[in-house]
Structure 1
């Protein structure tokens, strides 16, 4: 995957920049993006070391995976993060707990990199429509978002439905990519797959991951399967313009455009 079209990005693997073993292993995996985390996953005592390690890791790269670095929230740590990311080989800077356009502009100016903004709070959800146009994409941080909304830990994902859809709407209105949040139950592959399916139905381009074992399912589910591809081809071939019947359903130009987009994404 190239960084030119993030709608092709199906899996974003977050890993602590302070964990050299995780960094080395990530070079052998198939995540579309590797996000080196300087924020929540790193202990305060390890912040300086993690920053140096992230720059070194980005310089080596992760094969075909695009590299991003998530900086800390505003403050002294972020100031040093921005300077380090600016001189790094990372393609994207990731902004945590984005509450408004100013948060994005600060990181973009400080790093000179395109930005991915994390929507993790109630203010962030309400401001998403203004945030998205200044970014290359939005990432919903579902754990922090649930806490911001006052949800009990382990609450049904249904409680986040409105916020998730608001993020998707904001991203689509701005013409940028949008990514679903993480799934915390590492020993529940079926639950993870179900949430990926739901995320794709909601309109997300891909999903944030916290474990290598989640990569395969995310890449598979956020890709068009052979049945979808063949159905898209049949629809395009059958369409003659205007509203018409196709395999028991009514289709029009909008459906043809969707089918063409699906095939283009599958080819890419």
Structure 2
């Protein structure tokens, strides 16, 4: 590492483009598509994410896919604790050393978990109050949904994902991008698109733009339906999204006639299509099925 780059990064506490490439070279690292590795090389972007996340000293942040540590270094000074979940063994082994060199005053705030986030259902204390991450594109939706399910202590989420995925997560009923991720995310939280991120802030540069998604936890619909039943109803409705709900939910309900009963009991026109309904209405359909006599 050149002395000039090293001194500048020590002074700023952030990883710049030159430092990231040098660090990757020293580790013999080549970003892989398998793990969706695109590293942020722009300090202003990670500062922006840390600011928009609105985390403070009382927050314990879980960061999925910290990579070389760009966002980690931005979060440590503002959060009470950061738990970083990293699947790549080379990156997992290097992160602690990077933080100790560039942000020694905050090294004791970091806990590293070497694991695949897709399979993480428990984390060491302190339990997370916020999920803040530059998520690998190929697992972004399942990771967000599984973490919201597994960790009820999570109150806020701010994640950077592929722009198309961000728009889908934040979509509202009736819009072209509204689908299964939109409805399931709404079960847990109020969701909004918090901004766009140009592809040039990454190394390697992806062939898509990115977006920031903000989620604020809220109570699920209080209509007597379980999450599992509601989600199975959502999956069935969107598996055949061009069909009316009477037809699309026939297999889920047991028959088209029973699907119509559930829909009418929930106050929904059986000719409606799934993309027109919000999560509360899907929960009402699931609740209706649970109380109707068995076919």
Q: TM-score, normalised by structure 2?
A: 0.30
**Structure with higher helix content:** 1
Work out which structure has the larger RCO, using CA pairs closer than 8 Å and 6 or more positions apart in sequence: 1
Larger radius of gyration: 2
